């Protein structure tokens, strides 16, 4: 079973699992966690350095932070929803 997000006509798989005995796996969570950390470090460096930075960096870091944070939140809910679906399907 797959849980996916449909965006601009494309399907992005967020989580998958086989049955009640296997773990629900997420797709792309590790790379988005790394992107989230890089964005946080980048924004922190921009704040610490003050105005001595490229003008295009803060918006890039902010967009990366928002996109990765949103993806990880969607993945969390997708994994939880799939686990609940599998549990309800096997209990009936």
Q: What is the pLDDT of residues 21-77, one digit of tens each?
A: 677 878 888 898 999 999 988 888 877 877 666 778 888 888 999 989 988 898 888
The predicted pLDDT at position 53 comes to 65
Backbone angles phi, psi at 16, to 5 degrees: -150, 160
3-state DSSP call for residue 41?
helix
What residue segments make up the domains of the chain, in order of their start?
2-91
Distance between start and end Cα atoms, the chain: 18
Torsion of CA 76, 16, 83, 68, to 10 degrees: 0
Q: Which two tokens stand for residue 85?
A: 């679906």
Q: How many CB atoms lie within 10 A of CB 78?
A: 21
Mean pLDDT of 3-19: 78
Cα separation, 81 vs 79, whole angstroms: 5
């Amino acid at each position: 079973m797959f849980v996916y997000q449909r965006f601009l006509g494309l399907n992005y798989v967020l989580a998958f699992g086989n049955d009640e005995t296997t773990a629900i796996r997420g797709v792309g969570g590790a790379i988005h966690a790394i992107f989230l950390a890089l964005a946080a470090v980048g924004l922190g460096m921009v704040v610490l350095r003050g105005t001595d930075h490229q003008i295009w960096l803060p918006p890039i870091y902010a967009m990366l932070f928002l996109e990765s944070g949103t993806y990880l939140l969607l993945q969390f809910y997708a994994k939880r929803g799939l686990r609940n679906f599998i549990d309800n399907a096997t209990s009936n």
